[in-house]
Amino acid sequence: MSDWKWDYNPDETYIAGGLPPGVVAEVERIATELAALGPDAVRVGRPFDREGGLREFDILGGRGFISFLAVPRQQCVYVCGVTWYG
């Protein structure tokens, strides 16, 4: 198990405010799994050809995606945005 954590950046209201509760639950579930990966989270999602930087990961069968940063120095995955197509 990893010592990494996850958080919203800048905050939950800004990122997840107005989203359906099921979408927020899925985002938080994925963020928890990304944090469990620890330093390997820098290679998950798009872009596929490099690691680090702002990453994207599809949610709920492609009906949206999350943008996140995995920051090894802070041992944290930051959810920076959620795009939901509905």
Radius of gyration of the CA atoms of the chain, in A? 12
Task: Dump pLDDT digits (tens) for 50-76.
Answer: 888 999 999 999 999 999 999 999 999
Residue 51 is predicted with a pLDDT of 87
Q: What is the CATH number of the domain that holds 67?
A: 3.30.2310
Mean pLDDT value of segment 29-33: 96
Q: How many distinct structural domains can be found in the chain?
A: 1
Residue 13 is predicted with a pLDDT of 96
Q: Is the pTM higher than 0.75?
A: yes
Adjacent-strand bridge partners of 70: 77
- DSSP track, 30-67: HHHHHHHHGGGGGGSSB-SSS-SSSEEEEETTTTEEEE
80: domain range? 5-84
Tokens in use for 41? Answer: 């989270």
Q: How confident is the model at residue 1 (pLDDT cuts 50, 70, 90)?
A: low
